[in-house]
Structure 1
Amino acid sequence: MSAPTYPIRTARLTLPGGTPAGSGGSSGGRSRGPARAPLATYRLQQTPRDRTVRTLAAWSIGSSAAIAVLSALGGLLAAATSPRTAIAVAGVLILASPLLLPRRPAVDPVPDRELAVSS
């Protein structure tokens, strides 16, 4: 005689918009801050159209690499000190990050290059 099995019920939390909680939605689990869209728009306006795909690919790879490196550094800091200290340092760095933004006058977008048409 086998042991009886009982169905396990789990609660499903749903975020506004129908996205299941914890799934990360379309962002792949990464945070998408409110400044990301204007920054992307600005960067793409400054990029010639024939380089858009390269720019987006480089940005994606660079963002993923930066997340991995900074996560590892945070883990090393937490191992060397304490998790609370590592979180405090990360919070201070996040709050100080607007100071790293460039303070330059606005520039006109780069004009598109004429693509050579072969006959």
Structure 2
Amino acid sequence: MDYIQSHQLKSVGVRIVYKGLVIFQYLMDGKSEDIWLKRKERTVIESGHSSYYTFLHQDQYSTWIDNDNYTLGGGGFPITENQQVVGAICISGLKHDEDHQLIVEILRKLLKEDHL
């Protein structure tokens, strides 16, 4: 959350799910339970890809375009173990490509700091 605040980004919701359990969820001021976090999570888990990938490959996910359970837009990122998707990191509240980029930047920063 420090990253979000230090870059003066508007309020976002963050949800991390691991093996079916919500292990972290934070909704900044002005955010309530966000259906978009759940939609991004479902998209990642069922596609096996980032939700941004599904945006870039909409022809493969055309049945999800008008389905309220999924979203074809950025902001969901898979957590993998042994080449299996076991969870998702989801951010919602910015433009979909900015949600995706925020996850990438935070993960890059954590990896650089050797936290993961």
TM-score, normalising length from structure 1?
0.23
For the pair shown, the structure with the greater C-alpha radius of gyration is 1
TM-score by length of 2: 0.23
Q: Which has the higher strand share?
A: 2
Structure with a larger share of its residues in helix: 1
